[in-house]
A and B are shown apart, each in its own frame.
Chain A
Amino acid sequence: MPTDKVFKCQAREKIIQFFHQNPNTIDTINGIVTWTGLTKKETVKALEELVDLGILLAHRASSTVGYAYTTDKKLIAKIKKHFKSNKQ
C-alpha cells in the first residue's frame, strides 16, 4: 500500500504517529487504545493492517501480543517525511 493511502485511515495514522513519537515502545492493544484514544475495534483492525504492511512488528506470545515500531530505516524516513509535510 502506498504511504499516502496508509495515512488515509485516521486510526492507522494515529497509531503510526504514536509509535513514530515513541519508537522504543512495545505495547498491547489495550495500551495503544489508551495512548491513542481510539476505540478497541478500530485499533485491532488498524494494528493488524499495519503489521501486514511492515510498519509495526507483532511480538506474539501465548498470553498476549506486543506491538512495536518498524526498524526499517527507509520506511521510518518515509513516515517522518509524511508527518513533516503535514505539520507544514
Chain B
Amino acid sequence: MNDAYTTEFLRRLRDNLNLKKQKEVFEAVLGKALWEILPVGITAKELTKLSSLISCNRTRCKDPQGALKCAKLMIDVMKRTQDSGLQRFHCSSGNGFCVPLKQGNQLYGFIIVSGFAKEIDVQLMTIFVAFTETVMREVQKEMELTKLYDTIRPRAIALSTIHTVHRLISSTLDSDELMPRIARLCLQVMRAESCYIYIFDKDKNKLVIKSAIKLDKDIKGKNSYVKMTGSLARVFNTAASVLKPKNIFVPLIDDDVIGVISVHNKLGDKPFTEFDKEILTTFAEQAVIAIRNAQLYEEQEKLTIGSIKSLAAILDTRSEYTYTHSTAFAKLVVEVAKELKIPVYGIRVLKYASFIHDAGKVMIPDEILKKPKRLTGEEYDIVKKHTIKGVEIVKPIEVLKPIIPIILYHHERYDGTGYPKGLKADQIPLGSRIMSVIDAFMAMVSKQSYRETVSVQEALAEIKKYSGTQFDPMVVDAFLRVMARTNMSVLFRMKSKEF
C-alpha cells in the first residue's frame, strides 16, 4: 500500500461522518477529549503539533511542558498498540486509549483519544473498535469506487468521443465534404494547430493532399501532389506511424495503405506523446472506414451516371438532344437544386433525371416529333404520353426508381393545368417543378425545328411572366438567382465528362 493511499485513507477517516457521530456519543458519556487520527511513524513536526493540540484543546493539560510529555507518552502508547493492539493510558491530560487502524497485516495509523476525566470502560472501547473496523471497511470501499470511477470515466469520455466522431464522419459520403470534416475533427481531438490528409492516387502513383486545415482555416494546396520524402514516405512505405515532438504521421490502412494523416504543433507548445499517437491511430481507423465508404459510393455513382449516359447516347443516335438533355441542362438543374438547399441525395436523383427525363419521346413517331408546324390535338395527345413512356423505360433499372416521379410529373403546371394528372403546386414533386422551369428555358434558348430561338434575357422574361401560373415562384426565384451568377457561354461549352 503506498503512502498516498494511506494519506488519503486517513483523510477520509477524519472526514467520516459516522466516526464523528461516534465521537459525539463517547463525549456525551465520558466528557470532552482530544481525538486524533495519526499515521504510523510520527514525525517531530507532528509531535509538536500534537503537543500544541493537547495544550490548546479542551483537555486539562494547559502547561506546554506537560503537553509535550503527554505527546511523547502517546507516541509510546502508539508503539505498544502497533505490537499488542488496543491500549488504555493515563497522562496529565486525563484518561485515554489508542486504537490501531489495521486491516489484515496492514497498519495505516492510529486513533488516539486522550483527556477523558472518567475511567474508560473496556466494553465501551471494544464497541468503539468494532465500529471503527466497520467504518474502515466503508472508507476502503469508497476509495475503491473512487479509483474505479477515476479510471473508467476518462475512458468512457474517450469512447463517447470516438463514437461521436464516427457518427459525424459517417454522415456524409461526399468526399469534398468528408475530408475537411475529418481534418477539422482531428484538429479538435488532437488539440493540434494543423492537419493534413493525403490519399494515394494509383494512376499517378503519388500522394495527393485531400484536406489541409489550420485551426479551422483551409491551407492552400488541396488536391496538389506531394513528393514522397521524409516521414511521409516512411509512413506510406512501411505502414508504421512516426511520432516526433511537433508532428505525428499515421497511415490510413484499409487492406493496403490508402493514405496518411498528419497533425502538427500541439496547442500549448507541448510535445506530442505516445498517447497522442494512439489517439490519432484510433481516429485514423475511423477515418479510413468513412473514406473507403465515400470512395466506394463515388465509384458506384460513376457507374450509375455511366449507365445513364450510355442510355442517353443510344437515344441520341436517333436524334441528338431530342430525347436527352445537354450537360448544361443538368448543370442548371443541379445549381437550382443547390440554391433551394435540397439535400445531397435529392440533388443526385435530380442529376440522374435531368439526363433522361424526356427519354419517353423515343416512342413518339418522328413525323410528330419533328413537325415544323403546330401540332393537332390528336398529335399533342400522343406527345403528352412521353412522360408515362419515359417511366416505362427507366422502371426496370432499380437504381433509377427514385427519378420516376420526377419524369412522370415534369410537365405538370403550378396552376394545375399540366399533364398527365393535373397536379397543383406542392402536389408536384419539387424535382419536377425545377425540371419544368429549366426545360422551358432551355427549349427557348436552344434551336428547335418548329420555332426560332430567343435570347437569354427574353427567355428569362418569359419564365418570370409565368411564375405562379406555369412555374413555381420559389423555383423561379432560385433559378433567376442562379442565372444572375452563371456565365451562359461557359455553361453551354461544358462537356459531358466535366459534369
List residues of chain A with CB under 8 Å of any chain B CB: 22-28, 31, 34-35, 57, 59, 61-64, 66, 68-69, 71, 73
Q: Decide if B343 touches A63 in the complex (CB within 8 Å).
A: no
**CA A62 to CA B187, docked complex, whole Å:** 21
List residues of chain B with CB under 8 Å of any chain A CB: 154, 157-158, 160-161, 164-165, 167-168, 171-172, 181, 184-185, 187-191, 215-216, 267-268, 279, 343
> Of A35, A64, A73, which one neighbours B164 at CB under 8 angstroms?
A64
**CA A38 to CA B403, docked complex, whole Å:** 46
Q: Decide if B187 touches A26 in the complex (CB within 8 Å).
A: no
> Of B168, B172, B187, which one neighbours A66 at CB under 8 angstroms?
B168
> Of A26, A31, A73, which one neighbours B188 at CB under 8 angstroms?
A26
In the assembled complex, the CB of B276 is this many whole angstroms from the nearest CB of chain A, namely: 9
In the assembled complex, the CB of A17 is this many whole angstroms from the nearest CB of chain B, namely: 13
Q: Decide if A22 touches B164 in the complex (CB within 8 Å).
A: no
Q: Decide if A62 touches B171 in the complex (CB within 8 Å).
A: yes
**CA A34 to CA B163, docked complex, whole Å:** 14
In the complex, chain A residues whose CB is within 8 Å of the CB of B167:
28, 61, 63-64, 66
Q: Decide if B185 touches A59 in the complex (CB within 8 Å).
A: yes
Q: Decide if A24 touches B189 in the complex (CB within 8 Å).
A: yes
In the assembled complex, the CB of A76 is this many whole angstroms from the nearest CB of chain B, namely: 8
Q: Decide if B171 touches A63 in the complex (CB within 8 Å).
A: yes
| CB-based nearest B residue for A67 | B164
In the assembled complex, the CB of B273 is this many whole angstroms from the nearest CB of chain A, namely: 12
Q: Decide if B164 touches A57 in the complex (CB within 8 Å).
A: no
In the complex, chain B residues whose CB is within 8 Å of the CB of A57:
188, 216
Q: Decide if A26 touches B267 in the complex (CB within 8 Å).
A: no
**CA A68 to CA B188, docked complex, whole Å:** 7
In the complex, chain B residues whose CB is within 8 Å of the CB of A26:
161, 164-165, 168, 185, 188-189
In the complex, chain A residues whose CB is within 8 Å of the CB of B185:
26, 59, 66
In the complex, chain A residues whose CB is within 8 Å of the CB of B215:
71
In the assembled complex, the CB of B424 is this many whole angstroms from the nearest CB of chain A, namely: 30
Q: Decide if A71 touches B188 in the complex (CB within 8 Å).
A: yes
Chain B at the A interface: mostly helix, strand, loop or mixed?
Answer: helix
Count of CB-CB pairs between chains A and B under 8 Å: 68
Q: List 28 A-B contacts (CB under 8 A).
A: A22-B154, A24-B158, A24-B161, A24-B188, A24-B279, A25-B161, A26-B164, A26-B165, A26-B188, A27-B160, A27-B164, A28-B167, A31-B160, A34-B160, A35-B160, A57-B188, A57-B216, A61-B171, A62-B171, A62-B343, A63-B167, A64-B168, A64-B171, A66-B165, A66-B167, A71-B216, A71-B267, A73-B268
**CA A28 to CA B162, docked complex, whole Å:** 11
| CB-based nearest B residue for A57 | B188
| CB-based nearest A residue for B269 | A73
In the complex, chain A residues whose CB is within 8 Å of the CB of B267:
71, 73
Known contacts A61-B181, A62-B343, A71-B267; A24 and B190 CB within 8 A of each other: yes
**CA A87 to CA B185, docked complex, whole Å:** 31
In the assembled complex, the CB of B447 is this many whole angstroms from the nearest CB of chain A, namely: 42
| CB-based nearest B residue for A64 | B167
In the complex, chain A residues whose CB is within 8 Å of the CB of B168:
26, 59, 61, 64, 66
In the assembled complex, the CB of A46 is this many whole angstroms from the nearest CB of chain B, namely: 18
In the complex, chain A residues whose CB is within 8 Å of the CB of B154:
22
| CB-based nearest A residue for B171 | A61
**CA A29 to CA B331, docked complex, whole Å:** 39
In the complex, chain B residues whose CB is within 8 Å of the CB of A66:
164-165, 167-168, 185
In the assembled complex, the CB of B316 is this many whole angstroms from the nearest CB of chain A, namely: 36
In the complex, chain B residues whose CB is within 8 Å of the CB of A34:
160
**CA A35 to CA B153, docked complex, whole Å:** 9
In the assembled complex, the CB of B490 is this many whole angstroms from the nearest CB of chain A, namely: 31
**CA A64 to CA B161, docked complex, whole Å:** 13
**CA A26 to CA B187, docked complex, whole Å:** 11
In the complex, chain A residues whose CB is within 8 Å of the CB of B158:
24-25
**CA A35 to CA B156, docked complex, whole Å:** 10
In the complex, chain B residues whose CB is within 8 Å of the CB of A25:
157-158, 160-161
**CA A25 to CA B189, docked complex, whole Å:** 6
**CA A35 to CA B267, docked complex, whole Å:** 24
**CA A35 to CA B158, docked complex, whole Å:** 12
**CA A66 to CA B191, docked complex, whole Å:** 16
**CA A25 to CA B279, docked complex, whole Å:** 12
In the assembled complex, the CB of B154 is this many whole angstroms from the nearest CB of chain A, namely: 7
Known contacts A61-B168, A61-B172; A24 and B181 CB within 8 A of each other: no
Interface centre among B160, B185, B343 (most CB of A within 10 A): B160
In the complex, chain B residues whose CB is within 8 Å of the CB of A22:
154, 157
- Which A-B residue pairs are the 8 nearest by beta carbons? A61-B171, A63-B171, A68-B188, A66-B164, A31-B160, A61-B168, A26-B164, A64-B167
Interface centre among A25, A28, A69 (most CB of B within 10 A): A25
